[in-house]
């Protein structure tokens, strides 16, 4: 993973969002006054473009479509929000903002348990998936074991494919 320069600090006003294209990967930069966050540009709810629907007030990013919201300082979900915000690592250096970009096609996924469901969030950091923000599946527990195994097989097959050691020559 390498750091990629996004812009000058002064290129983005306080309490605003701005979309950038970094080597073909769209990144939404958020200036929330006390700091910056770099996130995929689509709302984790219904994939609305946050550069249009995102409002930043007092460190809170709210998607104006259905009012999902996140505290940008702590990343805590606010109110009825049901999915966390994905973020890239961000740093400031010499008056510029840098984000750590995923490199290669290493899949990334998270398993979570919410109530009686297992939620699988799968972030495959290629251009297409980053543009979509995330993919997720919700599997009821104890649920249909065949469905669960099928979903896990797809994810782990992909994961193993990417992790397979390369031949030395």
Size of the site for ligand FES (CB under 6 A): 9
Kindly tell me which residue out of 1, 13, 34, 46 binds ligand FES, with binding defined by CB under 6 A: 46
Binding window for ligand FES (CB under 6 A); candidates: 6-14, 61-69, 122-130, 134-142: 61-69
Q: How far is the CB of 45 from ligand FES (least distance, A)?
A: 3
Cross-strand pairs, 7? 97
- Torsion on CA atoms 142, 144, 149, 154, rounded to nearest 10: -120
Q: Does 84 bind ligand FES (CB under 6 A)?
A: no
Residue 133, classified by CB atoms within 10 Å of its CB into exposed (0-12), middle (13-18) or buried (19+), is buried
CA 50 to CA 22: how far, in whole Å? 17
Binding site for ligand FES (CB under 6 A): 43, 45-46, 48, 53, 63, 65-66, 68
């Amino acid at each position: 993973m390498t750091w990629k320069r996004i812009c000058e600090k002064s290129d983005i006003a306080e309490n605003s969002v701005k979309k950038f294209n970094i080597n073909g990967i769209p990144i939404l930069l958020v200036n929330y006054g006390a700091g910056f966050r770099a996130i995929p540009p689509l709302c984790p709810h219904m994939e609305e473009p946050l550069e249009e629907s995102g409002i930043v007030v007092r460190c809170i990013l709210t998607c104006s479509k259905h009012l999902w919201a996140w505290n940008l300082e702590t990343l805590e979900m606010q109110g009825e929000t049901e999915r966390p915000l994905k973020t890239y690592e961000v740093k400031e250096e010499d008056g510029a903002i840098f984000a750590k970009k995923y490199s290669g096609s290493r899949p990334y996924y998270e398993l979570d348990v919410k109530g009686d469901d297992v939620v699988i969030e799968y972030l495959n950091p290629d251009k297409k998936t980053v543009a979509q923000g995330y993919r997720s599946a919700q599997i009821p527990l104890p649920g249909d074991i065949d469905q669960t195994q099928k979903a896990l097989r797809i994810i782990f097959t992909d994961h193993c494919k990417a992790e397979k050691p390369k031949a030395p020559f």
